[in-house]
Amino acid sequence: MMRLPRPAPALVAALAGMAPVAPLAAQASAPPLAAQAVSPPPPELPPRRSAVPEWQIGDDWSLKLRGRINHDVAAISAPGGLPAGTVPQGIAVQTRRLRLGVEGDGPDGLSYKGELELSGNRVRAVDVALTFRASRTAPVEFTIGHIEPLNGHEQIASSRYTSTIERGAYNEAFSNIRRSGAYLTIIPPGADLRVSAGLFADTVNSGGGVRPLTLATRTVWAPRVRGVQLHIGANAAWRRYRDGGSAFALSARPFAGILDARLLGTGRLAAVSDLTLGAEFIAIAGPFHLIAEGQHLGLRTLRAGTAPGLAAGAIRPGFDPHFAGMIAEIGWSLTGESRGYRDGLWARTRPRRPLGRGGIGALAINLRYDLLDLNDAGGNARIAGGRQQGHIAALVWQPTDHLRFTVQYARGRIDGGPLARPDRPGFGFDVMALRTAWDF
């Protein structure tokens, strides 16, 4: 019997990798190549690229660097006749935020975050928090640390995702800032609802002095209706000054935090406590979004004859004044992105076609109305802190996931306030600002 030679191993491997030949009948019935071509799928977001490395420590712990840089340029112009030094001259240039920190996950649903910020030539703590949630779908979440005390969406949402250079002016005027404390959030499964309540003390950067105690709550209902993401929320905070009284001054800077100007303000009021009530509304429909949010602050003041506490020398108006502020905004993504939103807060908006990868990035225009009213009257005295209105246009260009440029123009007007005169009860001003922001 003739023995056929054994094929070489290389030939066997090559034949094994070849696709089987279809039967002739199947080949005859196969459509031409043009007909077999499959149309490309609709464009999707490019794969996410982490801006920094991450480390896995053992089986349970992870660690990742985080931080951000906001570099601002701003200038303000106002009519002449204002007191010398009221309006800063020239162009202000400053690093508004420089933060560095870490974040990660631990065992049993633990996550952590810690950041330090260099601003105003000093280092201070910002977010330092531990969060416990057994799983992504668990109905209870607990957070403790130096955190935002449920002051409303505009204040709590990260500065990485704001649609204008600064938050609404009422947030600064009402001292909506991070404080040491803790809160519990209930998240009923399938209800699109988040209910939070917490207890807070002072900021860790205060250096002692006034020791307020704050009780706060916030509720958000965020259903998705016919493709539209809705957000309907309410928040409330009661703050008590436990040292028997404090000097509480309400004022705000004009739409750019690096401008050293305060064109309205109440002066130092002798306060015992305050109550803030707020409402939130957001609608996101494809590339469009709407925002309406505001707060009302009622201040309980020290009466004449009571111990001054830490409010010695402050104004005692003899009644309890009330102040208010609000924003209203409409935004449009010119490149088609839908604004990022998750868990009752803004999230990252990712460009569909980043710069250098087939596109120009994400481009959006936002138009905002900003109101802060620090006027109130009652009894035999009057508080005339002034009324500030701002009409703001901001163009936001986000060439990549983590890089943003914001160009903003604001036309503001002050009526009344400490700078008012009989011959000039009000005046207008203009602010131009540019922010370069990078985060990781």
Per residue in 322-364, pLDDT (tens digit) is 999 999 999 999 999 999 999 999 999 999 999 988 899 999 9
Strand stretches in 242-361, DSSP E:
246-251, 265-285, 288-301, 322-333, 341-342, 345-346
Spell out, as residue ranges, where the chain has pLDDT lower than 70: 1-51, 120, 206-211, 243-244, 377-381
Kindly state the DSSP code that residue 349 receives in the 8-state scheme. P
The candidate with the shortest Cα–Cα distance to 140, out of 106, 86, 101, 187, is 187
Q: Give how far the C-alpha of residue 56 lies from the chain's centroid of Cα atoms, to the nearest Å.
A: 29
d(CA 36, CA 96): 57
**Using alpha carbons only, how large is the chain's radius of gyration in Å?**
28
In a domain, 27, yes or no: no
Q: What is the pLDDT of residue 219?
A: 98
Tokens read off for 81: 């006749």
- Residue 152 located in a structural domain: yes
pLDDT score of 207: 55
| Secondary structure element (H or E) that encloses residue 93, with its range | strand 92-105
Q: What pLDDT score was predicted for residue 42?
A: 43
Residue 96 belongs to a domain: yes
Q: Strand, helix or coil at 199? A: strand
Name the average pLDDT for the chain: 87
pLDDT at 16: 43
The answer to whether position 168 is within a domain reads: yes
Taking alpha carbons only, the member of 91, 126, 410 closest to residue 252 is: 410
CA–CA gap between residue 71 and residue 336 (Å, rounded): 27
Beta-bridge partner residues of 114: 102, 128
Residue at 22 is within a domain: no
The CA distance from 64 to 54, in Å, is 5
For residue 26, how many other CB atoms are within 10 A of its CB?
9
First to last CA, the chain: 75
Regarding beta strands 341-342 and 54-57, do their DSSP bridges make them parallel or antiparallel, or are they unpaired?
unpaired
Residue 274 belongs to some domain of the structure: yes
Q: Dig out the tokens for 373 from the structure.
A: 């009213």
Distance CA 202, CA 218 (A): 19
In a domain, 40, yes or no: no
- Which H helix or E strand runs over 374? strand 362-378
d(CA 129, CA 109): 14
Residue 16 lies in a domain: no
Domain boundaries, position 99:
52-439
Pair 70, 96: CB distance under 8 Å: yes
pLDDT at 204: 81
Nearest CA among 371, 396, 26, 378 for reference residue 168 = 371
The CATH code of the domain that includes 303 is 2.40.160.10
What's the pTM value of the predicted model, to 2 decimals? 0.85
Q: How many residues does the chain have?
A: 440
Residue pLDDT, tens place only, 394-438: 999 999 999 999 999 999 999 999 999 888 899 999 999 999 999
Return d(Cα 275, Cα 281) in angstroms, integer: 21
What's the number of domains the chain is made of?
Answer: 1
Which tokens go with 312? Answer: 């010695």
Q: In the chain, pLDDT over 70 holds for what percent of residues?
A: 85
Compute CA 414 distance to the chain's CA centroid, rounded to the nearest angstrom.
26
**Cβ-count burial of 166 within 10 angstroms (0-12 exposed, 13-18 middle, 19+ buried)?**
buried
With contact defined as beta carbons under 8 Å apart, do 266 and 385 qualify? yes
Eight-state DSSP code of residue 310: B
